[in-house]
A and B are shown apart, each in its own frame.
Chain A
């Protein structure tokens, strides 16, 4: 079967797109995503303060 030039170019575009996605690993993260901070334990430790204890000192007994 003969294929015309348009069909060839479309196939190539689709192939490149597929390869591009494969290279990126399929994740939806951009370069500046949440995981930049949330996978860096040292960074989190420097920037997160101890949260105030919200349990009353009067709390006693089994719940």
Chain B
């Protein structure tokens, strides 16, 4: 979501003036003085947030029933949040804990304006559409402006494939989360949002599943939460700590986040959600969460689990865990174990962990998945252990593809910093005739040589997110390097393996990179256009879906949208957000499910070729024989 300029935030459009709400005087809702002839005078007594400060007298003049309940809605009050914190605190600590909560956790509240007119306060405010009131909230500028790190990322494919409700049916948030749910007053003492009478449930649309044609629904009905079978991996957060910086601004830090999935016993069995097993997500509550306000603020920490029931918004009909019974049955790693818990949270999660003998056993007769991995090139992925053992090898060159700040803080010993997003000489400039395409052979070879890389080296690349490493590896592959690998787990995996990091910059000598560019790997927009209707060609758009569906655009593109007929498969379907790479079997299965088959010509495209290059690297690692990079990508496509 691009930030708004100060004037954009308050610029009223002609469309608003022509609308029903535009017939009101501004001062009717906002107070102030519309007869003043200067800003100060006009803003005397001005209320920028009338729907928060005075909903009944403003919105309620016409929307009386809604204005009666919205001030007590979950979005306005976040009422269930203090409930959980209060359970963990006690009478002696609660006031200080609540003070901390109000400074750090309560900023996400909103009211009518933040869903129907402006970006919410937490997202920096500002009109979404010139003050025009929209009955349906904007999923990018409003809903996921707050619900971004989990819901938004999962839904749009910043993590995983994204949600089928968007991809296939172009559904948005309000298609499931109705106005009656959003406007409903939360009763006193409401346990959590799932307990709200108006809360949406899968079965609101998907009715009578137990009588349908899907055998697995009949077998698992009322035993297993829908998302256990139909969600993809999701973020889990650890150890939130709060504080105030030296400028007096409140902040929080999550010490650790990782993408994963755990099934556990449902900690919140209620009518309509009385499953035995549910997906659990680790929430970042910590013993020391509000230590800057009060030490030992949670004497009753163990009363509530830290692995909570979750409903990831990344639904797919077919997922790896439902691909075959034994991808779930008998899979110890998929179920939350006591060994997954940190010491301080073992008691809190006692009721949700699944012991070995409680895991649903493997099924004797299952359908085989028949995934051919014989063409996978395993050398293209190296482990932290392997790299540690070979760090001193002369033929191994390690490249750090992160930004400069991250590299200078710490990096793998001997790693050369080469940020593909910021290094001159890898791609053309943004001002060039065809911007951001891979450079000519001479320039590319010179650049790679300057960074101490020879074509015959074993080049290992890592980053935080695998996508940056994949991007650089895609360029190296094009340049003719054969012995290229991505570090599984990136720098996070290196650290978790217990290996050292350093601030020390390595010495290296420039080399000659004898380029043998694989020109056949790159196709231009004319080629793509001429093959849009070719059934032997699959065009894969690896951008996040708020871009490929046209909700948002790239700053360099003339318009939002995507190439007609292209398959939307966000790159995070192939790269986990902590650089760990899923198994080749799972990745090949995902691609097969999306009909991206190795017997076709696969053209990978994105906005500028960055993610497309990373997608090309991954597909070639998986053994796809004919993968092409649409290097010009969308920003040049829209010029056609």
State the A residues within 8 Å of B (CB): 26-30, 32-35, 37-39, 41, 44-45, 47-51, 54-63
Contact = CB atoms under 8 A, between A and B. Distances in A.
Between A47, A50, A54, A60, the greatest number of chain B beta carbons within 10 A of the residue's beta carbon is seen for A60
A51 B125 CA distance: 12
Given A34-B32, A50-B6, A51-B6, A59 B251 contact: yes
A57 B245 CA distance: 8
B253 A59 contact: yes
Interface string B240-277: 10010101011111110100000000000000000000
Interface in B1-51: 5-7, 10-14, 17, 22-28, 30, 32, 34-37, 39, 42
B473 interface: no
A49 B6 CA distance: 7
A48 B23 contact: no
A45 to B, nearest CB: 4
A30 B149 CA distance: 45
30 contacts: A27-B17, A27-B23, A27-B25, A28-B25, A29-B26, A29-B34, A33-B25, A33-B26, A34-B26, A34-B27, A35-B17, A38-B11, A39-B13, A45-B7, A48-B7, A49-B6, A56-B247, A59-B253, A60-B251, A60-B252, A60-B253, A61-B252, A61-B254, A61-B257, A62-B150, A62-B235, A63-B108, A63-B122, A63-B148, A63-B149
Interface in B584-608: none
Given A26-B23, A27-B17, A32-B37, A48 B253 contact: no
Interface in B376-393: none
Interface residues on B, range: 35 or more
Given A28-B28, A30-B35, A34-B26, A58 B251 contact: yes
A47 to B, nearest CB: 7
Contact of A61 (B23, B32, B37, B237): B237
The DSSP consensus for interface residues of chain A is loop
A32 B146 CA distance: 36
Nearest to A38: B12
A47 B7 CA distance: 9
A29 to B, nearest CB: 6
B284 interface: yes
A44 B6 contact: yes
Between A38, A50, A59, the greatest number of chain B beta carbons within 10 A of the residue's beta carbon is seen for A38
Between A30, A44, A51, A57, the greatest number of chain B beta carbons within 10 A of the residue's beta carbon is seen for A44
Contacts of B254: 60-62
Contacts of A33: 25-26, 34
B36 A39 contact: no
A39 B149 contact: no
A49 B13 CA distance: 21
B148 to A, nearest CB: 8
A43 to B, nearest CB: 8
Nearest to B13: A39
Sorted nearest first, the 10 A-B pairs with minimum C-beta distance are A61-B254, A62-B149, A56-B251, A44-B7, A28-B25, A48-B6, A34-B26, A56-B249, A45-B7, A38-B12
Nearest to B245: A56
B7 A61 contact: no
Between B7, B235, B254, the greatest number of chain A beta carbons within 10 A of the residue's beta carbon is seen for B7
A29 B245 CA distance: 45
Contacts of B240: 61
Contacts of A58: 243, 245, 251, 253
B39 A27 contact: no
Contacts of B243: 58
A63 to B, nearest CB: 6
A37 B42 contact: yes
Contacts of B5: 45
Given A33-B34, A63-B252, 8 more contacts: A34-B30, A38-B10, A44-B7, A45-B6, A58-B251, A60-B253, A62-B150, A63-B149
Contacts of A32: 34-37
Contact of A54 (B12, B25, B249): B249
Interface in B89-144: 108, 122
A60 B257 CA distance: 11
A48 B9 CA distance: 10
Between A33, A41, A63, the greatest number of chain B beta carbons within 10 A of the residue's beta carbon is seen for A63
